[in-house]
Amino acid sequence: MRMLLCALALLVAVPAAADPGDAEYQFLWSEGAYLHRVALNGTTVAGDTAISISLPIYVTKYLRDGANELEVEYTSDTRVGLSVTLETRARGRKDQIVRFSSPYGESNGARVVKKIPFTLQLRRQVPLRLSSADRGAITALLQTYYNTLARKDGAGLVKLYSKAVEQEGEIYPEGIGLFQWVLSDSLRMIANPKFRMKPYQGAALQFSVDGQVVVVTRPDQSPLVESAPMEAASAGAQPAAGAEGAQADPGLKPMSLSFKRYEGRWYLALPFGF
């Protein structure tokens, strides 16, 4: 069974140029089986339970201008081959950098490591310098995000992410589908009649900059915003028959949110860094 390597957990930030048409991003993905590990320039970018990389991984930060090395550790499947592809993406363009392929049964059941050298002309982009005005705009947008949840405004929540979906769908269409699935789960939660938000805590925010993306967290690692437990609205009620051991809906409590500036204005960014 092919396993999905979820980029949401990484929350990696993708740098952007002033002109969106100039931005280039490198992604790694694979097809077939059985993949144990992939490394770029000695750093593991996929491993452990990876059978294949179904959701491309953003890997620009592991690359360097000039000579690079792709390392693939695998055991050949007896029915399907394996391929690992590294590509550069920009708006309206996708270019293959290097591709490793192995036919089915090639390793005869042995675990094999192959190293493939390649050369890349990497276009580094100027990282963002976060001003006090930027911090204020992002803080205000976080308050808007909370207010949208507090009034249970599903259409408003979708709109807060619409700019990021519009801008990044051309670069990373695979990730948009995953994000829409995650967003639909949030919409389901806020549509619950028992859903309500805890009071907003506006102080003690931490801003981390990587490229043009700003990730906001709290220094004490507490949630940025948090909904009340669903069972709180029905305290003392008897559980339904057959519901022994049922778990309450965990609600919404994001530990971090990403923000990106498009056309001079800050917007919520997709959770995998775009």
Q: Which residue has the higher pLDDT, 147 or 169?
A: 147
In this prediction, residues 247-266 reach a mean pLDDT of 85
Q: Which residue has the higher pLDDT, 110 or 274?
A: 110
Structure tokens that stand for 106 in this block: 């090639």
- Please check the confidence at residue 158 and state whether its pLDDT lies above 90: yes
Q: Indicate the residue type of 38.
A: V
- Please check the confidence at residue 197 and state whether its pLDDT lies above 80: yes
In this prediction, residues 159-163 reach a mean pLDDT of 95
pLDDT tens readout for residues 20-48: 446 788 999 999 989 999 999 999 999 87
Q: Please tell me whether the overall predicted TM-score, pTM, comes out greater than 0.75 for this model.
A: no
- Please check the confidence at residue 183 and state whether its pLDDT lies above 90: yes
Torsion angle of alpha carbons 226, 231, 232, 238, nearest 10°?
Answer: 180
Task: Specify whether the CB–CB gap between 159 and 145 falls below 8 A.
Answer: no
Q: What angle do CA 7, 213, 41 make, to 5 degrees?
A: 55
Structure tokens that stand for 265 in this block: 């204005």
pLDDT computed for residue 178 by the predictor: 85
The structural domains of the chain, with segments of one domain joined by +, span 24-120, 132-268
Residue 79 pairs with which residues in a beta bridge?
none
pLDDT, the chain, mean: 83
In this prediction, residues 49-57 reach a mean pLDDT of 84
pLDDT computed for residue 233 by the predictor: 45
Diameter over CA atoms, the chain: 66
pLDDT above 70 covers a percentage of the chain that reads 82
C-alpha Rg value of the chain to the nearest Å: 22
Q: Which residue has the higher pLDDT, 4 or 108?
A: 108
Q: Are strands 206-210 and 257-262 parallel, antiparallel or unpaired?
A: unpaired
pLDDT tens readout for residues 74-90: 999 999 999 999 999 98
Q: Which residue has the higher pLDDT, 168 or 139?
A: 139
In this prediction, residues 125-140 reach a mean pLDDT of 89
pLDDT computed for residue 97 by the predictor: 97
pLDDT tens readout for residues 201-231: 877 999 998 767 899 999 999 999 999 998 6
CA distances from 95 to 24, 25, 58, 80 (A): 10, 10, 14, 25
